[in-house]
Amino acid sequence: MPNQIESKICQSDQQGSTASANAISKPFGIKALDEALNKTIKRGNVYEVFGSTGTGKTTLATQFLVEGAKEGNKGFIIVTDSSVEQYVRNAERLSFGFRKYRDEGLIEAIGLSDRFWSLKWSATEDPKNFGRYMEDTTEAIKKLASESNAKRIVIDTITPMLTGDRFDISRFVNSLAVKEAVVIITSGISNNDNSLGYERNVVSGVIELKGTSTDGTKEARIVKMPGTHYEGPIEYTISSEGITPVSSEKVHSMLRIIR
Ligand SMILES: Nc1ncnc2c1ncn2[C@@H]1O[C@H](COP(=O)(O)OP(=O)(O)OP(=O)(O)O)[C@@H](O)[C@H]1O
Ligand SMILES: [Mg+2]
């Protein structure tokens, strides 16, 4: 009997996980970036957006959640590098709909609990506590995902959650995958600590954001994403309208002049 049940579960699993069914065609609602990604972002995978301070990681992550909400998909962001209130206050100043969708319950912003920090502390103090820390944390995220039926999940930034050696980081990041959702983690630039940034080797795809000039222009590069071909960086600026590719902005301003 148990064998029969097992074989049924396996069959339905295979049917449900075809590549096209899991692909997200508009991950960010930023045409140039979505097209360059070419439907490679898939539910069940973990991706990373990394870049130095001010390059737009949090803004891009917020656009990712809003784009999901526009399609009626729920999402949540785990805010680790500021208070939830600070994050929400800033995101509400963005014009592309964060406030509306959060008010409608399609986007939730969540902080880390005291219990999280005490588990993390004990894992950092003694490696034998790592397993407990990882299991409790990833289980809490998966529970949140299944209870809210979230299709898009962000952890901004992942850095305070990572502890231990490269093996621990690999296990932790792998265990963040949620079958029904796309998970995006963000990360700053790694310093001399070799373990920092190691998660980029483990995730399914990586987008790098770079500040390139003093005029505020930045660029996004898809540095790792099986299924995309390299098209060169996408230049963008950030304003209250979020991340806007420079070329389309130029076209818009030209149109405004013509009209
Ligand atoms: N609500 C807003 N209105 C206008 N511009 C904004 C807004 N929020 C962010 N920006 C601009 O976008 C830039 C990038 O902000 P963002 O918080 O996304 O960067 P980040 O990569 O997450 O930085 P950090 O590593 O410090 O978290 C800011 O420096 C600011 O110029
Ligand atoms: Mg940020």
**C-beta 134 within 6 A of ligand 1:** no
Reported as a single tens digit per residue, the pLDDT across 107-159 is 999 999 999 999 999 999 999 999 999 999 999 999 999 999 999 999 999 99
Average pLDDT of the residues in 153-172? 95
Tell me, using a 6 A CB cutoff, whether residue 93 lines ligand 1: yes
CA of 82 to the centre of ligand 1 (A): 13
Verify whether ligand 1 is closer than 6 Å to residue 238 (CB atom): yes
Q: Is 50 exceeded by the pLDDT of residue 12?
A: no
94 lines ligand 1 (CB under 6 A): yes
pLDDT of residue 149: 97
| Cβ partners under 8 Å of residue 163, min gap 6 | 120, 123, 124, 130, 133
Atom of ligand 1 nearest to the CA of 59: 18
Token pair 């991706």 is at which residue? 47
**DSSP H helices in the chain:** 2-16, 19-22, 31-37, 57-70, 84-93, 98-103, 114-125, 130-148, 166-174, 246-258
| pLDDT at residue 16, as a whole number | 42
Q: Indicate the top mutation candidate among 30, 57, 89, 184 to test ligand 1's pocket, ranked by most ligand atoms within 8 A of CB.
A: 57
Q: How far is the CA of 10 from the centre of ligand 1 (A)?
A: 44
Q: Give yes or no for a contact between 240 and 222, defined as CB atoms under 8 angstroms apart.
A: no
- Please provide the average confidence, as pLDDT, over all residues in the chain: 88
Under DSSP, the state recorded for 173 is H
pTM: 0.89
What token pair was written down for 171?
């296990």
Q: What is the DSSP string of 67-112?
A: HHHHTT-EEEEEE-SS-HHHHHHHHHHSTTSHHHHHHTTSEEEE--
- Assess contact for 77 and 154: CB atoms under 8 A: yes
Residues with CB under 5 A from ligand 2 (ion): 57-58
- Note whether 96 and 63 are within 8 A (CB): yes
State pLDDT tens for residues 52-79: 999 999 999 999 999 999 999 999 999 9
Closest residue by Cα to residue 153 from 142, 169, 162? 142
> How sure is the predictor about 15, in pLDDT bands with cuts at 50, 70 and 90?
very low
pLDDT (tens digit per residue) in 89-107:
999 999 999 999 999 999 9
Report DSSP state, residue 137.
H
- Ligand 1 atom with the shortest distance to the CA of 53: 25
* pLDDT (average), residues 226-232: 80
Tell me what percent of the residues of the chain surpass a pLDDT of 90: 78
Assess whether pLDDT exceeds 80 at residue 8: no
What residue ranges define each of the domains in the chain, with the CATH number in brackets? 20-258 (3.40.50.300)
Name the closest ligand to CA 56. Answer: 1
Q: Which atom of ligand 1 is nearest to the CA of 56?
A: 18
Residue of 214 and 1 predicted with greater confidence: 214
